[in-house]
A and B are shown apart, each in its own frame.
Chain A
Amino acid sequence: MSAIRVPVIEKIFSANDRMARLNYDRLQKDRVFSVNLMASPGAGKTSFILQTINRIKGVHRVGVIEGDTAPVTIDADKIIQAGMPAVQINTGGDCHLDASMVSDGLDQLPLSELDLLIIENVGNLICPAAWDLGTDVKLLVASVPEGDDKPYKYPNIYRGLDVLVINKTDLLQYIDFNMDYFRQGVEILNPGLVTFPVSCKTGEGLDAWIDWLTSKVKEKKLH
């Protein structure tokens, strides 16, 4: 008996991609602008989300999905304290959120009352890049103490981004971080990437991000 070759040519993530498409359609129906926020642990994801909420809460309603590898609700509690609906998704040790976990999160949020959804992905620079969640944009929070070589070491995550936030700029004066070298790596991988250097501690640079974000939220309402 000889083996027969059967051509397939199907993406390994095709099942996830189909689910991501359904998430996208649900958010589209309620005109909710959505952000998949990725970063390494401690880069400032939760701080950045809280700063964002504080600056737009008078104008827009924000829902948050918090992805965590363990059943700790520390981050979700902070969002709820800030007055916005949040759901905690425990990935059960998995290194990333996938589209079906996000779908479960969407079930628990009042989508028709929201203008913006932010998903805090699991802190990791490798795995989340591979799993599309169905958001409008993918955003990475890179932070100065992680070093200026990260685009060179983790090219994959930089390739797929729509927005880059460089956080903890208040620490630039203490750390050898060559901004030109960092940005050159980013430019090679993702030419013209929308980038906001910010400090979630001092608030520096956040206005430019908020302007960009609110224009996207409004645009989504119209389309």
Chain B
Amino acid sequence: MHELSVTENILSLASDHAQKSGATRVTAINLVIGQLSSIVDDSVQFYWDLISENTICAGSILNFNRTPAIFRCLACQHEFSLEARLSPCPSCGSIRNQLISGEEFYLDSIEIEK
């Protein structure tokens, strides 16, 4: 799994932005992670505690805001979420959909003290 490299990316982004805003300490990291981005929260948290030690982000809390995978049916416009499995539109049976959320993977904001 690539959670370690992911966590290193989060740390470098967060530290850059903390320094730019003149922070003395970062208290929280707010992430937005889509259901389809296959990231395991627990192992990011595990690496985070290890690699953020002795950085400006030490002791900060990671908040994972999970967005569900939502499809819009192109035939009937019905919107439905990805449950256990991919499926055709539950309303009309069409397989022509557009994914409208669920692939997000970004650092939304940080909370700092100065």
B106 touches A96 (CB 8 A): no
Q: Are B112 and A188 in contact (CB under 8 A)?
A: no
Interface size class on chain B is 35 or more
Cβ-based interface call for A110 (8 A): no
Q: Which of A12, A94, A159 contacts B13 (CB 8 A)?
A: A12
Question: Measuring CB to CB, which residues of chain B are less than 8 angstroms from any residue of chain A?
Answer: 1-2, 5-6, 9-10, 12-14, 17-18, 21, 23, 27-28, 31, 36-38, 69, 71, 82, 85-88, 95-97, 99, 103, 105-114
Give the CA-CA distance A5 to B28 in the complex, in Å: 9
Contact A15 B12 (CB under 8 A): yes
Residues of B near A191 (CB, < 8 A) are 96
CA distance in complex: A187, B31 (Å): 30
Q: Does A4 contact B (CB under 8 A)?
A: yes
Q: Which residues of A contact B99 (CB under 8 A)?
A: 159, 189
A3, A8, A14 interface centre (most CB from chain B within 10 Å):
A8
B85 to chain A, nearest CB (A): 5
Residues on A with beta carbons closer than 8 Å to the beta carbon of B69: 155
- List A148-184 residues whose CB lies under 8 Å from chain B: 151-152, 155-156, 159, 184
**B1 and A127 contact, CB distance less than 8 A:** yes
Q: Are A14 and B86 in contact, with the CB atoms below 8 A?
A: no
Contact A96 B2, CB 8 Å, known A9-B107, A156-B38: yes
Residue of A10, A12, A127, A184 most packed against chain B (CB within 10 A): A12
A–B pairs, 28, beta carbons within 8 Å? A1-B113, A3-B113, A4-B111, A5-B111, A6-B109, A6-B112, A8-B106, A8-B109, A10-B107, A12-B13, A12-B105, A12-B107, A15-B12, A15-B13, A94-B2, A94-B5, A98-B5, A127-B1, A129-B38, A130-B2, A130-B38, A155-B36, A156-B36, A156-B103, A159-B99, A187-B96, A188-B71, A188-B97
Task: State the interface size on chain A (CB cutoff 8 A).
Answer: 36
> With the chains together, A189 CA to B85 CA distance in Å?
12
Contact B108 A3 (CB under 8 A): no
Least Cβ–Cβ distance between A102 and chain B, in angstroms: 14
Q: Nearest CB to that of A158 among chain B residues? A: B86
Contact across chains for B110 and A8 when beta carbons are under 8 A apart: yes
A4, A13, A16, A187: the one contacting B113 at CB < 8 Å is A4
Return the contact of A126 from the options B10, B38, B85 (Cβ within 8 A).
B38
Tell me if A12 and B36 are in contact (CB < 8 A): no
Q: A3-B111, A10-B13, A188-B95 are in contact. Are A130 and B1 (CB under 8 A)?
A: no
